C-alpha cells in the first residue's frame, strides 16, 4: 500500500469531516450519528482515531462501521484500513478487502484505490488474474478523478501487469495523474516527451510538465529538467536567468547535482 497517499487522504478526510473541538460538540456529533447522519458518524470515528483527547481505535472502528452501514463509502474504506492493520479490531485481510470493495461500489475513489492495492499485493506474476483485477479497480479510482489510481494504472501499463503493455496508455494515465494531485508523475511524463520515448518528441510538452512538477509539486528533478530546457532553449525561449532560477530550486529541493560548489 502506498502509505503517503493513505495517510494524506485519511487526514484530509478527518479535516473535511470536522473533528469535534470539545466534549459538548463531540456529544452533539455522536447524537447526530445516532440519528442516522453518516457524516457525523465519520467525524466521530476520525475524532476517536486522531484526536488526542479521545483516542480509542475500538470506538473509531465502531463509528466507521456505523458510517459504512449508512452507505458512507469513506467510512467503509476507513474501517477496512483498521481491519487490514488490526487496529481496534481483529486483523483480517478478507474483511478489509470486502470493505474496500463495498466502498468502491459506492463510488468512493479511496475504496477503489485500496482494492487495487490489495489485489496487486496478491499478484504472483504478470498473468495472474488478480493483476487484471488490480488494474480494473485502479481504473475505477482514476475514473473517479483519483490521481493515485491513475498513477498506478500508468505503472501497470508501463510494465504490462494485468494489462497489455502500452506506451500510449501509460502516457494517457500519467497525464491524468500529473494533472491531478500526483504531481510527482509530471517529471516522469516530461522526460518521456523530452526523449521521445514511444511518443512524438515534444520539448514544449516536456517544459509544460516539468514546470507543473517543479512549481506545483516542488519536485527537484522536474526543476532540473526545466532548467536544462531554459539553458538550451528547447520548448521555451532560451533564458539563462530562468535556467539558474530553476537550477537553484532543484538544489533547494534535494537535487545535489544542481547545487553549486
The number of C-alpha atoms within 13 Å of 128 and in the hemisphere containing its C-beta is 15
For residue 29, what are the contacts with CB-CB under 8 A and spacing of at least 6? 20, 40, 43, 44, 47
Instruction: Please say whether the beta carbons of 30 and 48 come within 8 A.
Output: no
Domains (ranges, CATH) in the chain?
Answer: 1-106 (1.25.40.10), 115-182 (1.25.40.10), 183-261 (1.25.40.10)
pLDDT by residue (tens digit) across 12-59?
A: 455 444 444 577 889 999 999 999 999 999 999 999 999 888 899 999
For the stretch 147-191, pLDDT in tens is 999 999 999 999 999 999 999 999 999 999 999 989 999 999 999
This prediction's pTM: 0.86
Helix H or strand E segment including 162? none
How close are the terminal C-alpha atoms of the chain, in Å? Answer: 39
Q: Are 161 and 123 in contact (CB under 8 A)?
A: yes
Amino acid at each position: 500500500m502506498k502509505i503517503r497517499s493513505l495517510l494524506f487522504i485519511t487526514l484530509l478526510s478527518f479535516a473535511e469531516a470536522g473533528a469535534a473541538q470539545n466534549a459538548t460538540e463531540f456529544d452533539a456529533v455522536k447524537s447526530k450519528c445516532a440519528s442516522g447522519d453518516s457524516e457525523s458518524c465519520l467525524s466521530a470515528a476520525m475524532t476517536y482515531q486522531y484526536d488526542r483527547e479521545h483516542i480509542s481505535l475500538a470506538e473509531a472502528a465502531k463509528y466507521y462501521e456505523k458510517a459504512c452501514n449508512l452507505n458512507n463509502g469513506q467510512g467503509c474504506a476507513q474501517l477496512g484500513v483498521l481491519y487490514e492493520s488490526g487496529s481496534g479490531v481483529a486483523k483480517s485481510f478478507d474483511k478489509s478487502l470486502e470493505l474496500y470493495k463495498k466502498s468502491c461500489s459506492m463510488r468512493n475513489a479511496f475504496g477503489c484505490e485500496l482494492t487495487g492495492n490489495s489485489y496487486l499485493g496478491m499478484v504472483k506474476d504478470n498473468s495472474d488474474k488478480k493483476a487484471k483485477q488490480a488494474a480494473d479497480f485502479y481504473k475505477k479510482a482514476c475514473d473517479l478523478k483519483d490521481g493515485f489510481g491513475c498513477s498506478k494504472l500508468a505503472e501497470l501499463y508501463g510494465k504490462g501487469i494485468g494489462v497489455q503493455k502500452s506506451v500510449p496508455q501509460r502516457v494517457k494515465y500519467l497525464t491524468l495523474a500529473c494533472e491531478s494531485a500526483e504531481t510527482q508523475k509530471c517529471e516522469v511524463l516530461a522526460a518521456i516527451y523530452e526523449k521521445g520515448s514511444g511518443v512524438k518528441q515534444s520539448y514544449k510538452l516536456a517544459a509544460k510538465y516539468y514546470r507543473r512538477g517543479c512549481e506545483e509539486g516542488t519536485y527537484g528533478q522536474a526543476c532540473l529538467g526545466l532548467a536544462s530546457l531554459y539553458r538550451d532553449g528547447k520548448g521555451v525561449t532560451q533564458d539563462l536567468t530562468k535556467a539558474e532560477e530553476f537550477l537553484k530550486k532543484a538544489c533547494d529541493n534535494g537535487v545535489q547535482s544542481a547545487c553549486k560548489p
